[in-house]
Structure 1
């Protein structure tokens, strides 16, 4: 006999219940409220996580674009430019470039100011062409750093504090490489000409000064074959573990960016998790509304459940009917929330600008950074749907325990 319902029967009946007008308007209101609650929670979670992804991406690109991702050095603090007995560093996973480097702490002095800096001796010829510094030079070129010319490239914060620009001279004083004279211990120092200024929009602009590695060797009184370490650029700085797990001969060691900046990125990751947890609780509250609404629906439909049982439907079929009925609110809410979230992510900056609320742009930024990760979207959707299904378990089990004789006694 044809019933006019598609198969499976439990799905057909559950969807018919979901689309029908309920006699109890309060139950309908709670169901609608729970759908909107899930949609708002999913949309808010997507927007917040995407903005946090954007800020994390900016930090990764700007800060980790200047400081070394991974450095191979020795326990003595110095290493040969071509050490023996080491693996081919350029062939290690995620490594895109390798270059020698020297780093030291020092002071920069202009005619009217004095400031501390972290000095990096580099060889621009070995730097990758797509490195962030090449694109973030506000003046001059990184290639101007040539041995013997005593040129220096400053972060814009350092240049601003010293009050210098391109072509000005500054005195670099290094605490290492001191020498003893009849007048006592004298630090290594030299006049340098400012040949470039970079600005990546992070605190490294206030800390870093770059010079040619040959000039750094002369100031530190090191032979030409000796440097501070070999700097490795990775395609993903967060993949540093894949490199530092490579075994090294005795006397050599790995250092990575987490030594200097690990706490900052851990704080950003913790903040993202906490924000995500708070917004997940919004979705959880909405799923509790599904549970309460479904309990009232079960009470309202006891007579119909009893008829289905007398017609031969088993308990598992009844459970599936009410799981479909309850989860439909969650699925609809999650889908609408995902669409709203994607729309907000794509138009977030124009929307905030139109409302006059984009404080980030008002402070000089180009707009809130937004990075939508497809896997995060899928995870949020799956989580909202699973929470919705979980909320239906108790009401569906209660419906399956309805006794036909007692439910139909007063019909």
Structure 2
């Protein structure tokens, strides 16, 4: 005797040697449908994760996720809001001095941004790969390290000199104030393969204080890096004290952020549509099976099998299709993801010279499989309930 009996019967209905070829084809097509849905969702989510990971690595690792300053961009270090250090999302905080300047070489002129460098804050600039040039940024010499693209734009190289020119902030005092211009020697170049290479320059903090006429204990503000820049709300950082203002990376990189948000919404819509298709597929398949077997259901009821166990027979039938489909879909998606050349080849057939980053999270894969299984089980309940609510005598009255 097989126990539990409803699982045994469910598996027999799912697949046995006596099934007609048509029923076998229907079962196989149902499994293929679930497999394609599962694989599509996992691959899409992995592509989205890959794009976010590349965005964090190539852009958000170089720019601060949050800048704390005031309206004049000139603030005493003692006014730093220490309460934000208690927030869990904070990774590191660094004071900085920054200003936009005109950069002039012998052959060209452009606009750049100077950022101060302190040796104790080297971790903030670790991704710049400038360790070999650090010793040149001392307080005695007017040395500077600038981005490679900026150097190409100015047509300069290491050991050349450039002139930095600060213009008055107030337009009314533009003609009254003397323009501050100083020569700096280029002692190094950084190449981060990021936009900052085209405008950013690093100089010593003490040199910057003198050049910008800053008092000793004053800074432009504080740069904040977060553990997860995508999941923070800027309102949690806002503190109504000392007239502070908070500038987040979403404003600086607005177009990129909008693209990521649109991608998430499309992926969510795609996920819902596939779930609906899978659910409808299972409902249709089970409804056909149940209508065909309603006489057998009535006979099982007359033999003492309760309504709950009859429902579990078809839950087993529907869940079997989804579980096998999920397993095959997950296996296919893993093969395609870990053999990234296959996906890149398929994409390059439509778009030339496009490299697609892929990153898979096991927890997301598990959630997708669980959701698909739950949807399949829920999809079986209505057709089973609608058949089993009829009495055996009514179903068998015309037999």
Other-structure match for 2:22: 26
Kept after mapping to 2: 8 A contact 1:97/1:232: yes
Other-structure match for 2:9: 13
Deviation at 1:88, TM superposition (A): 6.9
Written as runs of structure 1 = structure 2, the 5 A alignment for 1:214-293 is 214-238=206-230, 240-241=232-233, 244-245=236-237, 247=239, 249-262=241-254, 264-293=256-285
Kept after mapping to 1: 8 A contact 2:144/2:187: yes
Kept after mapping to 2: 8 A contact 1:177/1:219: no
Structure 1 residues 359 and 152: CA distance shift in structure 2, 3 A: farther
Deviation at 1:36, TM superposition (A): 1.0
Structure 1: distance between partners of 2:130 and 2:20: 67
Other-structure match for 2:348: 357
Structure 2: distance between partners of 1:13 and 1:320: 10
Find the partner of 1:113 among 103, 108, 122.
Answer: 108
Give the structure with the larger helix fraction: 2
RMSD over aligned Cα atoms: 3.4
Kept after mapping to 2: 8 A contact 1:322/1:395: no
Deviation at 1:310, TM superposition (A): 0.6
Find the partner of 2:41 among 42, 45, 49.
Answer: 45
SS at match of 1:118: strand
Find the partner of 1:157 among 149, 159, 168.
Answer: 149
Deviation at 1:333, TM superposition (A): 0.9
Kept after mapping to 2: 8 A contact 1:316/1:400: no
Kept after mapping to 2: 8 A contact 1:53/1:372: yes
SS at match of 2:88: coil
Structure 2: distance between partners of 1:277 and 1:106: 46
Find the partner of 2:303 among 296, 304, 311.
Answer: 311
Kept after mapping to 2: 8 A contact 1:142/1:153: no
Deviations 1:302-329 (A, max 9, x none): 2211110111123222222212212221
Structure 1 residues 256 and 371: CA distance shift in structure 2, 3 A: same
Find the partner of 1:342 among 314, 318, 334.
Answer: 334
Structure 2: distance between partners of 1:144 and 1:27: 78
Deviation at 1:368, TM superposition (A): 3.1
Kept after mapping to 2: 8 A contact 1:305/1:402: no
Other-structure match for 1:73: 69
**Paired residues, number:** 399
Structure 1 residues 37 and 196: CA distance shift in structure 2, 3 A: farther
Deviation at 1:257, TM superposition (A): 2.5
SS at match of 2:82: coil
Deviation at 1:79, TM superposition (A): 1.5
Structure 1 residues 15 and 187: CA distance shift in structure 2, 3 A: farther
Structure 2: distance between partners of 1:107 and 1:282: 54
Structure 1: distance between partners of 2:141 and 2:352: 40
Structure 1 residues 35 and 181: CA distance shift in structure 2, 3 A: closer
Structure 1 residues 241 and 275: CA distance shift in structure 2, 3 A: closer
Structure 2: distance between partners of 1:207 and 1:6: 73
Deviations 1:163-204 (A, max 9, x none): 333223222223347999998644332222233333333333
Structure 1 residues 34 and 159: CA distance shift in structure 2, 3 A: farther
Find the partner of 1:325 among 294, 311, 317.
Answer: 317
Deviations 1:311-367 (A, max 9, x none): 112322222221221222112111221222222222213x3567793899946xxx5
Deviation at 1:230, TM superposition (A): 2.4
Written as runs of structure 1 = structure 2, the 5 A alignment for 1:180-199 is 185-199=177-191
Kept after mapping to 1: 8 A contact 2:58/2:194: yes
Structure 2: distance between partners of 1:374 and 1:269: 22
Other-structure match for 1:393: 381
Deviations 1:130-161 (A, max 9, x none): x5x42443895355433342222323332332
Structure 2: distance between partners of 1:189 and 1:63: 31
TM-score computed with the length of structure 1 as normaliser: 0.84
Other-structure match for 1:404: 392
Structure 2: distance between partners of 1:159 and 1:85: 35
